[in-house]
Amino acid sequence: MSDTNKTDDAVTPQQASPSSDRDVLLKVEGLQKHFPIKKGILQRQVGAVKAVDGIDFEVRKGETLGVVGESGCGKSTMGRVITRLQDPTGGQVTFEGQDITHLSTAKMRPLRRDIQMIFQDPYGSLNPRHTIGSIVSAPFRLQGVEPEGGVKKEVQRLLELVGLSPEHYNRYPHEFSGGQRQRIGIARALALKPKLVVADEPVSALDVSIQAQVVNLMDDLQEELGLTYVIIAHDLSVVRHVSDRVAVMYLGKIVELADSSKLYETPMHPYTKALMSAVPVPDPGRRGQKSERILLRGDVPSPIAPPPGCRFHTRCWKATEICRTTEPQLLELRPGQRVACHHPENFADQAPQDTVLLSAAKEASELVGEAVLEDAGKTPAPEAEAEAGTGAVEETTAPEAKTATEAAATEEPADEQGDQI
Ligand SMILES: Nc1ncnc2c1ncn2[C@@H]1O[C@H](COP(=O)(O)OP(=O)(O)OP(=O)(O)O)[C@@H](O)[C@H]1O
């Protein structure tokens, strides 16, 4: 989508610094969303699900930011909080320079025109009793907007814009396929000409053959309408082709945030590498070059009691003592590439003095030849692999990695569409 690549010269690591404020549409600082866990007759709070636990990023005008990570890592919650469909527990959300963190529903209403959300389930997000005309025109009614030429004409224009026939105006959702329904959802989201669109798994419920069509449609619309996107997906292959930058989330934190090309060419966080190796290699020439993978063992820990230090250390084959005790900050180790890791891949070790692997690191991974996986019929589908938290990592020859390898609710969810339709 927009070209945000920068030079590749190494720089002194520094705290993540956003680009100039003029380019920034949305800025998120220290964002938290904790869902309280209550028990007993008195409903005393006994803990919290730390779904989003202190994240910082910015979204630049006209760009597409992809957000990826395993199921349960807090992507959807992040999407709902930055669009203010849910209230944050802490931190700040700034949209076009305005602090929107604590705006009331009434004060948010005018901003709903500028910030829209597209949901994963094209079946669940459209009211089956309403006609397409009524669904797509709902934002006009809610905002009291009378488009030029009238609502019907504008809705029909929007239907055409997303590749549907204006004749569909009086039809009902059940008469459409999944891909068509998602187009209807997109038309509804675009009705008020938003500046920011947050799309939560926009294609994951669709047939693979339809996914590319919908992604391409979103891409075309971005160019035509000057949209800015945050696209949430668990499947890196979806995000890869449409994102200028990608944020990788793990257990409520961003562990890597990088220009798309850098992330794919030289991932720095071991977890990013794990997710990447679950994505099929598109270049046939490269296929088969790396014949071994490391399967990550162990489950994703609970967001109620995340591990101390680096949250990934319980599953990381590179983890040392510092990973268990000290949380790594998200630092810009290379221009356009921020990572939170003491022992990054494809870059100088940030804690070279800490060489003794944790005992858990020795069990965190397993080297498995692809042939073995195939023989055993174990090769997991990419999405399933990423979702199940058993992402596989290609073996690396980086010295630091080699060493490692050798060694071894209770809150009611907000009515998602309630505010929009
Ligand atoms: N309303 C809620 N009340 C309590 N816990 C919640 C609520 N919504 C989400 N969670 C929890 O917060 C964590 C993050 O969930 P979230 O849906 O944001 O993750 P995700 O990365 O989007 O996963 P998925 O891809 O499965 O949707 C999970 O442990 C989930 O169970």
pLDDT digits 0-9 by tens, 79-112 = 999 999 999 999 999 999 999 999 999 999 999 9
pLDDT score at 366? 63
Query: Is the pLDDT score of 30 beyond 80?
Result: yes
In terms of Cβ atoms closer than 10 Å to its own Cβ (0-12, 13-18, 19+), residue 25 is buried
Q: Which protein residue has the closest C-alpha to ligand 1 atom 26? A: 71
Question: What is the arithmetic mean of pLDDT over 107-133?
Answer: 89
Q: What is the mean pLDDT of the chain?
A: 81
CA of 51 to the centre of ligand 1 (A): 6
- Pairing assessment for the beta strands 253-259 and 245-250 based on DSSP bridges: antiparallel
The candidate with the shortest Cα–Cα distance to 391, out of 284, 223, 277, is: 277
365 confidence band (pLDDT: 50, 70, 90) = low
How many degrees, rounded to 5, is the angle at CA 386 between CA 384 and CA 390? 95
- Which SS3 state, helix, strand or coil, does residue 34 take? strand
- CA 78 to ligand 1: nearest atom: 18
pLDDT score at 238? 81
Q: Where are the beta strands (DSSP E) in 175-225?
A: 196-200
The percent of residues in the chain predicted with pLDDT above 90, rounded, is: 59
410 confidence band (pLDDT: 50, 70, 90) = very low
Q: What CATH class is the domain 14-250?
A: alpha beta
- CA 303 to ligand 1: nearest atom: 29
Q: Which of 33, 34, 35, 411 to mutate to test the pocket of ligand 1 (most atoms within 8 A of CB)?
A: 35
d(CA 32, CA 201): 21
Q: Looking at this predicted complex, what is its ipTM? A: 0.97
CA of 303 to the centre of ligand 1 (A): 9
Rounded to 5 degrees, φ, ψ at 199 are -110, 115
d(CA 169, CA 94): 37
Ligand 1 proximal residues by C-beta, below 6 Å: 35, 49, 51, 69, 71-77, 234, 303, 409, 411, 413
- Which SS3 state, helix, strand or coil, does residue 33 take? strand
CA of 252 to the centre of ligand 1 (A): 10
- CA 234 to ligand 1: nearest atom: 25
Q: Where is average pLDDT lowest: 26-30, 172-176, 289-293, 336-340?
A: 289-293
CA of 179 to the centre of ligand 1 (A): 25
d(CA 383, CA 365): 19
Q: Which of 76, 271, 411, 412 to mutate to test the pocket of ligand 1 (most atoms within 8 A of CB)?
A: 76
pLDDT score at 386? 35
- CATH 3.40.50.300 in the chain is located at 14-250
Query: Is the pLDDT score of 74 beyond 90?
Result: yes
